[in-house]
Amino acid sequence: MSFLQTEVISHTRRVCSLYKRGLRNLEAWYDRRPMYRYRAVLLRARFDENKDVKDMRVAQQLIEGGEKELFSLQHYQPRQFPLSPGGVSHGRVVDAPDWVLDYWHPMEKAAYPEYFARREQRKKEYVEWWEKTYGKPFEHSH
């Protein structure tokens, strides 16, 4: 995992996560749909064989064995969703910060008079709220 685990993950969530990661790994290995579906059915059958295990020690061993097996069978170049981290389109769309609108030319602002009037009003309200909450900034005298 690429993040620090800060909570206890239930057995059910670990099983579901292992199953989903297994399916994603199969998806990376088999690009033909019928072959992928065949392997996915076999994977589901393996999970269904052990769904009624009540002893948590045995279930824990099964999960750990499954995670080791998945790691050993991992695809060398797993598929990535385009917009996810690691995908080809990740981070392409840059959202311009709000202050960029302050530098628009007055002729550009004239095309959207209601929006900019409301924006100026909200900026004044924000300054009032800031000064009420944190006080006015003091002047530094040199």
* pLDDT tens per residue across span 57-111: 999 999 999 999 999 999 999 989 999 888 899 889 888 899 999 999 999 999 9
- For residue 80, tell me if it sits in a domain: no
pLDDT of residue 102: 93
What domain count does the chain have? 2
Rounded CA separation 29/50 (Å): 25
pLDDT of residue 2: 59
Burial 94-130, CB ≥16 within 10 A → b, else e: eeeeeeeeeeeeeeebeeeeeebeeeeeeeeeeeeee
Whether residue 30 sits in one domain with residue 66 = yes
Which range of residues forms the domain containing residue 120? 98-134
Whether residue 111 sits in one domain with residue 58 = no
- For residue 115, tell me if it sits in a domain: yes
Whether residue 63 sits in one domain with residue 112 = no
**Global pTM value:** 0.63
- For residue 87, tell me if it sits in a domain: no
Q: Is the pLDDT of residue 36 over 70?
A: yes
Last residue of a domain, one of 72, 87, 114: 72
Q: Select from 58, 91, 73 the least CA-distant residue to 23.
A: 73
- For residue 92, tell me if it sits in a domain: no
